[in-house]
Amino acid sequence: MKAMKFFGAILACAMVFSGSASAADVAKIGVVDFQQVIQESEAGKQVQKRIQKQGRQMESELQELGGQIEDLQKQLSRDSMVMSKEKRQEKQREMEIKRYDFQSKKKEYENEFRQMQSELVGKMQEEILAIAEEIGKKEGYLLIVEKNAAVYYPDSIEITDKVIKAYNQQFDGTIGEEGSGN
């Protein structure tokens, strides 16, 4: 029985000393602002340009369809008194079809736009995570977290600039195309 107590005391001392030895090691923690990396990196700037270009193109096509509907509406208003009932109904059906086409195209473009944005930003996030992980391994970080997940942190542990620099060095000039990325 005494041997058990003695062994337990030795085990407890070993745990205390091993715990204090690991506590003496300073845990290196880093914080990354993914949004800043997306906004300031070359890849992020290219993705933003591509998204804006696609958005403008879609908007332009929708404005053209909207203009056609307006023209039909004006024509119908202007000529409705001199049109036969059948012709007026035909123009109204044509206008309703154009309105339906407009709404369908708008929904289609919104879905395409969201999907494209999600794919491009998702791909960037994967690349940024890989870079942050690589930096963490090379520089001995115990933990790297996203800025939005941290309640408080000192500025000294932010590694966003390192990630942006590394991402720019790896960036090959293409995003979201075949053969792109790293």
Bigger pLDDT: 13 or 98?
98
50-to-44, 54, 133 alpha-carbon distances in Å: 10, 6, 27
* Average pLDDT value over all residues in the chain: 82
**Backbone φ and ψ of 144, nearest 5°:** -130, 125
Domain count for the chain: 1
Rounded to two decimals, the pTM is 0.67
Give the confidence band of 23 by pLDDT, cuts at 50, 70, 90: very low
| pLDDT reported for residue 72 | 84
CATH number for the domain harbouring residue 102:
3.30.910.20
In a domain, 6, yes or no: no
Contact 47, 38 (CB under 8 A): yes
In a domain, 96, yes or no: yes
What number is the average pLDDT over the span 139-156?
A: 91
pLDDT higher than threshold 70 for residue 11:
no
180 secondary structure, DSSP code: -
Bigger pLDDT: 72 or 173?
72
Terminal Cα-to-Cα distance of the chain (whole angstroms):
64
In a domain, 177, yes or no: no
Contact 181, 127 (CB under 8 A): yes
Bigger pLDDT: 60 or 88?
60
CA angle, residues 122, 128, 130, in degrees to nearest 5: 105
In a domain, 15, yes or no: no
Give the confidence band of 159 by pLDDT, cuts at 50, 70, 90: very high
- Closest Cα partner for 181 from 136, 120, 132? 120
In a domain, 10, yes or no: no
**Enclosing H/E stretch for 31:** strand 29-32
Contact 31, 157 (CB under 8 A): yes
**Sole residue written with tokens 């977290």:** 145
Contact 144, 30 (CB under 8 A): yes
In a domain, 14, yes or no: no
Domain that holds residue 128: 23-170
| pLDDT reported for residue 175 | 63
SS3 171: coil
pLDDT higher than threshold 50 for residue 6:
no
In a domain, 156, yes or no: yes
In a domain, 80, yes or no: yes
